[in-house]
Amino acid sequence: MRDINTNIKKPELVQKRRMQIMDAAMALFRKNGYHATPMREICKRAKINMGSFYDYFGSKEDILVYIYKEMMYGGKIFAKAFSGRNVDGWEDLEPFLRSMMLNSWNRYKHSIQLLYRETISLDRKTMREVLRIESDYVRFVTEKLRKGLGLSSVPKELEILANAIIFVNAFIPLRGWNLHHVPQGKIIDLLVGMFMMKLEGMRKHPETWRSFDRPKAVQKREGGSK
Protein backbone atom coordinates (compact mmCIF):
# COMPACT_ATOMS: atom_id res chain seq x y z
CA MET A 1 0.00 0.00 0.00
CA ARG A 2 1.21 3.50 -0.83
CA ASP A 3 3.23 5.51 1.65
CA ILE A 4 1.76 8.85 2.70
CA ASN A 5 4.79 11.12 2.59
CA THR A 6 5.51 14.22 4.64
CA ASN A 7 8.28 16.81 4.88
CA ILE A 8 7.79 17.20 8.64
CA LYS A 9 10.83 15.81 10.46
CA LYS A 10 9.23 15.03 13.83
CA PRO A 11 7.46 11.63 13.67
CA GLU A 12 5.50 12.26 16.89
CA LEU A 13 4.11 15.53 15.47
CA VAL A 14 3.18 13.81 12.19
CA GLN A 15 1.32 11.08 14.09
CA LYS A 16 -0.46 13.62 16.30
CA ARG A 17 -1.59 15.84 13.41
CA ARG A 18 -2.65 12.93 11.22
CA MET A 19 -4.77 11.52 14.02
CA GLN A 20 -6.24 15.00 14.58
CA ILE A 21 -7.14 15.33 10.88
CA MET A 22 -8.35 11.73 10.65
CA ASP A 23 -10.69 12.07 13.63
CA ALA A 24 -12.19 15.24 12.19
CA ALA A 25 -12.57 13.67 8.74
CA MET A 26 -14.16 10.47 10.09
CA ALA A 27 -16.80 12.46 11.98
CA LEU A 28 -17.65 14.47 8.86
CA PHE A 29 -17.55 11.47 6.52
CA ARG A 30 -20.00 9.62 8.77
CA LYS A 31 -22.29 12.63 8.97
CA ASN A 32 -22.17 13.93 5.39
CA GLY A 33 -20.53 11.22 3.30
CA TYR A 34 -17.08 11.23 1.71
CA HIS A 35 -17.91 13.12 -1.49
CA ALA A 36 -20.09 15.71 0.26
CA THR A 37 -17.33 16.66 2.73
CA PRO A 38 -15.10 19.49 1.42
CA MET A 39 -11.48 19.86 2.49
CA ARG A 40 -12.14 23.23 4.15
CA GLU A 41 -14.67 21.59 6.52
CA ILE A 42 -12.14 18.92 7.50
CA CYS A 43 -9.50 21.58 8.19
CA LYS A 44 -11.95 23.72 10.15
CA ARG A 45 -12.99 20.82 12.37
CA ALA A 46 -9.36 19.70 12.81
CA LYS A 47 -8.37 23.31 13.67
CA ILE A 48 -5.64 23.54 11.04
CA ASN A 49 -5.28 25.69 7.93
CA MET A 50 -5.39 24.31 4.39
CA GLY A 51 -1.64 24.78 3.92
CA SER A 52 -0.89 22.70 7.00
CA PHE A 53 -3.16 19.90 5.78
CA TYR A 54 -0.83 19.21 2.85
CA ASP A 55 2.08 18.82 5.24
CA TYR A 56 0.42 15.60 6.46
CA PHE A 57 -1.81 14.31 3.63
CA GLY A 58 -1.63 14.70 -0.10
CA SER A 59 -5.37 14.48 -0.70
CA LYS A 60 -8.71 13.70 0.89
CA GLU A 61 -8.41 10.16 -0.46
CA ASP A 62 -5.18 9.74 1.50
CA ILE A 63 -7.25 10.02 4.68
CA LEU A 64 -9.28 6.93 3.75
CA VAL A 65 -6.06 5.08 2.94
CA TYR A 66 -4.59 6.15 6.27
CA ILE A 67 -7.67 4.99 8.19
CA TYR A 68 -7.42 1.59 6.53
CA LYS A 69 -3.67 1.25 6.84
CA GLU A 70 -3.03 2.67 10.30
CA MET A 71 -6.27 2.29 12.26
CA MET A 72 -7.46 -1.09 11.06
CA TYR A 73 -4.28 -3.13 10.92
CA GLY A 74 -1.56 -1.14 12.68
CA GLY A 75 0.21 -0.02 9.52
CA LYS A 76 0.15 -3.50 7.94
CA ILE A 77 2.03 -4.95 10.93
CA PHE A 78 -0.88 -7.21 11.81
CA ALA A 79 0.73 -8.65 14.93
CA LYS A 80 0.82 -5.10 16.35
CA ALA A 81 -2.98 -5.06 16.38
CA PHE A 82 -2.98 -8.27 18.46
CA SER A 83 -0.09 -7.64 20.84
CA GLY A 84 -0.07 -10.21 23.61
CA ARG A 85 -2.24 -12.59 21.56
CA ASN A 86 0.30 -14.97 20.05
CA VAL A 87 -0.93 -18.33 18.82
CA ASP A 88 1.46 -21.15 19.62
CA GLY A 89 -1.07 -23.93 20.14
CA TRP A 90 -4.69 -24.96 20.42
CA GLU A 91 -5.31 -23.21 23.75
CA ASP A 92 -4.39 -19.84 22.18
CA LEU A 93 -7.01 -19.91 19.42
CA GLU A 94 -10.10 -18.95 21.40
CA PRO A 95 -8.45 -15.90 23.09
CA PHE A 96 -7.14 -14.85 19.66
CA LEU A 97 -10.62 -14.98 18.09
CA ARG A 98 -12.12 -13.05 21.01
CA SER A 99 -9.39 -10.42 20.72
CA MET A 100 -10.11 -9.99 16.99
CA MET A 101 -13.83 -9.51 17.57
CA LEU A 102 -13.43 -7.16 20.52
CA ASN A 103 -10.98 -5.00 18.57
CA SER A 104 -13.28 -4.81 15.57
CA TRP A 105 -16.50 -4.29 17.50
CA ASN A 106 -15.28 -1.76 20.03
CA ARG A 107 -12.02 -0.08 19.05
CA TYR A 108 -12.60 0.01 15.27
CA LYS A 109 -16.40 0.05 15.01
CA HIS A 110 -16.71 3.47 13.37
CA SER A 111 -13.72 2.85 11.11
CA ILE A 112 -15.28 -0.38 9.79
CA GLN A 113 -18.62 1.33 9.15
CA LEU A 114 -16.91 4.13 7.27
CA LEU A 115 -14.65 1.88 5.22
CA TYR A 116 -17.47 -0.41 4.12
CA ARG A 117 -19.44 2.62 2.98
CA GLU A 118 -16.69 4.70 1.40
CA THR A 119 -14.13 2.23 -0.01
CA ILE A 120 -16.03 2.45 -3.30
CA SER A 121 -14.79 6.05 -3.49
CA LEU A 122 -11.17 4.92 -3.95
CA ASP A 123 -9.56 4.98 -7.38
CA ARG A 124 -8.78 1.68 -9.07
CA LYS A 125 -5.10 1.62 -8.13
CA THR A 126 -5.77 2.33 -4.46
CA MET A 127 -8.62 -0.19 -4.45
CA ARG A 128 -6.19 -2.87 -5.64
CA GLU A 129 -3.80 -1.90 -2.84
CA VAL A 130 -6.60 -2.12 -0.27
CA LEU A 131 -7.62 -5.55 -1.56
CA ARG A 132 -3.99 -6.65 -1.44
CA ILE A 133 -3.61 -5.74 2.20
CA GLU A 134 -6.93 -7.47 2.90
CA SER A 135 -5.53 -10.62 1.28
CA ASP A 136 -2.40 -10.29 3.41
CA TYR A 137 -4.61 -10.09 6.48
CA VAL A 138 -6.45 -13.26 5.48
CA ARG A 139 -3.09 -15.03 5.18
CA PHE A 140 -2.09 -13.71 8.61
CA VAL A 141 -5.25 -15.09 10.23
CA THR A 142 -5.00 -18.35 8.28
CA GLU A 143 -1.45 -18.84 9.58
CA LYS A 144 -2.63 -18.28 13.17
CA LEU A 145 -5.31 -20.93 12.68
CA ARG A 146 -2.77 -23.33 11.14
CA LYS A 147 -0.42 -22.92 14.12
CA GLY A 148 -3.28 -23.36 16.55
CA LEU A 149 -4.26 -26.62 14.88
CA GLY A 150 -0.64 -27.78 14.62
CA LEU A 151 -0.88 -28.36 10.86
CA SER A 152 2.13 -28.49 8.55
CA SER A 153 0.25 -26.89 5.65
CA VAL A 154 -2.89 -24.83 5.02
CA PRO A 155 -5.92 -26.73 3.70
CA LYS A 156 -8.45 -24.86 1.57
CA GLU A 157 -11.11 -25.32 4.24
CA LEU A 158 -8.98 -23.37 6.71
CA GLU A 159 -8.52 -20.50 4.25
CA ILE A 160 -12.30 -20.34 3.77
CA LEU A 161 -12.78 -20.34 7.54
CA ALA A 162 -10.27 -17.45 7.94
CA ASN A 163 -12.23 -15.40 5.38
CA ALA A 164 -15.46 -16.13 7.27
CA ILE A 165 -13.93 -15.08 10.60
CA ILE A 166 -12.75 -11.77 9.13
CA PHE A 167 -16.19 -11.17 7.62
CA VAL A 168 -17.83 -11.78 10.99
CA ASN A 169 -15.56 -9.12 12.51
CA ALA A 170 -17.74 -6.57 10.72
CA PHE A 171 -20.95 -8.17 12.02
CA ILE A 172 -21.65 -5.86 14.97
CA PRO A 173 -20.40 -2.64 13.35
CA LEU A 174 -22.74 -3.27 10.41
CA ARG A 175 -25.61 -5.20 12.03
CA GLY A 176 -25.50 -4.02 15.64
CA TRP A 177 -28.53 -1.75 15.07
CA ASN A 178 -30.67 -4.90 14.98
CA LEU A 179 -29.04 -6.53 18.02
CA HIS A 180 -28.80 -3.62 20.45
CA HIS A 181 -30.97 -5.55 22.92
CA VAL A 182 -28.51 -8.50 23.10
CA PRO A 183 -25.40 -8.19 25.33
CA GLN A 184 -22.22 -8.14 23.27
CA GLY A 185 -20.73 -10.90 25.44
CA LYS A 186 -23.49 -13.29 24.43
CA ILE A 187 -22.96 -12.55 20.75
CA ILE A 188 -19.21 -13.12 21.05
CA ASP A 189 -19.73 -16.35 23.00
CA LEU A 190 -22.05 -17.65 20.28
CA LEU A 191 -19.84 -16.74 17.32
CA VAL A 192 -16.52 -17.75 18.89
CA GLY A 193 -18.12 -21.01 20.02
CA MET A 194 -19.36 -21.64 16.48
CA PHE A 195 -15.91 -21.17 14.98
CA MET A 196 -14.20 -23.17 17.74
CA MET A 197 -16.62 -26.03 17.15
CA LYS A 198 -15.60 -26.13 13.49
CA LEU A 199 -11.90 -25.88 14.35
CA GLU A 200 -12.28 -28.64 16.94
CA GLY A 201 -13.84 -30.85 14.27
CA MET A 202 -10.89 -30.20 11.97
CA ARG A 203 -8.46 -30.98 14.78
CA LYS A 204 -10.13 -34.27 15.75
CA HIS A 205 -11.11 -35.41 12.24
CA PRO A 206 -8.42 -34.30 9.77
CA GLU A 207 -9.82 -36.69 7.16
CA THR A 208 -12.71 -34.23 6.64
CA TRP A 209 -10.53 -31.37 5.42
CA ARG A 210 -8.20 -33.72 3.59
CA SER A 211 -11.21 -34.94 1.65
CA PHE A 212 -12.29 -31.34 1.10
CA ASP A 213 -8.89 -30.53 -0.43
CA ARG A 214 -8.85 -33.43 -2.87
CA PRO A 215 -10.06 -32.67 -6.42
CA LYS A 216 -13.57 -33.90 -7.17
CA ALA A 217 -12.30 -36.23 -9.88
CA VAL A 218 -10.05 -37.99 -7.37
CA GLN A 219 -12.87 -38.26 -4.84
CA LYS A 220 -15.13 -39.70 -7.53
CA ARG A 221 -12.55 -42.33 -8.51
CA GLU A 222 -11.99 -43.26 -4.87
CA GLY A 223 -15.72 -43.54 -4.29
CA GLY A 224 -16.15 -45.75 -7.35
CA SER A 225 -13.40 -48.11 -6.28
CA LYS A 226 -15.09 -48.97 -2.97
Q: What is the CATH number of the domain that holds 56?
A: 1.10.10.60
Determine, yes or no, domain membership for 226.
no
The maximal CA–CA distance of the chain, rounded, in angstroms, is 76
pLDDT digits (tens, 9 = 90+) for 189-214: 999 999 999 999 999 887 776 666 66
Q: Please check whether residue 111 is in contact with residue 73, taking contact to mean a CB–CB distance below 8 angstroms.
A: no
pTM: predicted TM-score of the whole model, two decimal places: 0.77
Neighbours of 6 (CB within 10 A): 17
Contact present, 87 and 148 (Cβ < 8 Å) = yes
Instruction: Indicate if 117 and 23 belong to the same structural domain.
Output: no
**Residues 78 and 11 occupy one common structural domain:** no
128, part of any domain: yes
Long-range contacts: 101-108, Cβ < 8 Å, 24+? Answer: 101/168, 101/169, 101/172, 101/188, 101/191, 101/192, 102/188, 104/169, 104/170, 104/172, 104/173, 105/169, 105/171, 105/172, 105/173, 105/176, 105/184, 105/188, 108/71, 108/72, 108/173
| Cα-based distances in Å from 93 to 8, 72, 156, 173 | 41, 21, 19, 23
From 17, 45, 63, the end of a domain falls on 63
Query: Where are the extended beta strands (E) located within the chain?
Result: none
Kindly state the helix (H) or strand (E) to which residue 193 belongs, with its residue range: helix 184-204
- Residue 156 shares a structural domain with residue 138: yes
Q: For residue 21, what are the domain limits?
A: 1-63
Q: How confident is the model at residue 188 (pLDDT cuts 50, 70, 90)?
A: very high
In a domain, 219, yes or no: no
Q: Clarify whether residues 84 and 51 are in a common domain.
A: no
In tens, the pLDDT along 116-173 reads 888 777 788 878 877 887 888 899 899 999 999 999 889 999 999 999 999 998 888 8
> Do 193 and 140 reside in the same domain of the chain?
yes
Does residue 193 share a domain with residue 87?
Answer: yes
Please give the mean pLDDT across all residues of the chain.
84
CA dist 100 and 169 (Å) reads: 7
Among 63, 84, 107, the domain-final residue is 63
In a domain, residue 218? The reply is no
- Total domains in the chain come to 2
pLDDT score at 104? 84
How large is the average pLDDT for residues 93-100? 93
Q: Supply the pLDDT for residue 80.
A: 61
Does 107 share its domain with 142?
Answer: yes
Distance CA 166, CA 141 (A): 8
Sign of CA dihedral 189, 190, 191, 193: positive
